[in-house]
Amino acid sequence: MKRIFLSAAAVMLSALAVSPAAFASGDYPNKPIKIIVPYPPGGTSDVLGRLLGNKLSNNLKQPVIIENKPGAAEAIGASATATAPADGYTLMLATLSSMAVNPALYKDALIYNPQKDFRPIAHIASVPAVMAVNPKVPAKNLSELTAYFKANPNSSYASPGVGSPGHLGMEMYKQNAGINVLHVPYRGGAPAMQDLISGQVDAMLVLVPEGMPHHESGRVRALAISTLERSGRYPDLPTMSEAGLKDFEIFLWYTLVAPKGTPDGIVNTLNDAINVALKDDEIVAKLKELSIEPEGGSPEDAVQLVNQEAIKWKKLIDARGITAQ
Task: Go through the domains of the chain in sequence order and give each one's CATH number.
Answer: 8-126+252-320 (3.40.190.150), 128-225 (3.40.190.10)
Q: How many CB atoms lie within 10 A of CB 268?
A: 16
Q: How far is CA 46 from the centre of its chain?
A: 12
Helices then strands (H, E): number in the chain? 13, 10
pLDDT of residue 275: 98
pLDDT in tens, 284-317: 999 998 889 999 999 999 999 999 999 999 999 9
pLDDT in tens, 104-127: 999 999 999 999 999 999 999 999
For 76, residues 6+ apart whose C-beta sits below 8 A from its C-beta are 38, 69, 70
DSSP state at residue 74: G
pLDDT of residue 193: 96
d(CA 247, CA 238): 13
pLDDT in tens, 28-52: 999 999 999 999 898 889 999 999 9
pTM for the whole structure: 0.87
Instruction: Say whether 287 sits in a helix, a strand or coil.
Output: helix
